[in-house]
């Protein structure tokens, strides 16, 4: 799914957090992809912020990284009142 411009910043932030935690655990993108049963390109695109991942993948990643899903998205500055969904 192509990311709308207005959510790029948030998705990049989530991707950066995933990458940061993955690296702190000395896990490769390939290793994370394998443990989540997804293609390595999926992890690469998530970490770059170019893929709007599903909640299921978010949960799989958080489980693989042994963190709560909120840790992956909690530091992202998201203002729901400014969206016009």
Q: Give the other-Cβ count within 10 Å of 36's Cβ.
A: 21
Phi-psi region of 44 (alpha: psi -120 to 50; beta: other; left: phi over 0): alpha
Q: Give the other-Cβ count within 10 Å of 84's Cβ.
A: 5
Rounded Cα distance, 70 and 3, in Å: 21
Contact 30, 40 (CB under 8 A): yes
pLDDT along the chain (85 residues), means of 10: 69 94 97 97 96 95 95 66 52
Structure tokens at 12: 């990049």
């Amino acid at each position: 799914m192509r990311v709308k411009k207005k959510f790029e910043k948030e998705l990049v932030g989530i991707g950066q957090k995933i990458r940061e935690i993955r690296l702190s655990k000395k896990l490769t993108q390939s290793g994370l992809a394998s443990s989540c049963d997804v293609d390595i390109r999926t992890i690469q695109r998530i970490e770059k912020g170019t893929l709007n991942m599903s909640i299921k993948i978010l949960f799989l990643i958080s489980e693989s990284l042994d963190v709560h899903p909120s840790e992956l998205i909690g530091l992202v500055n998201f203002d729901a009142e400014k969206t016009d969904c």
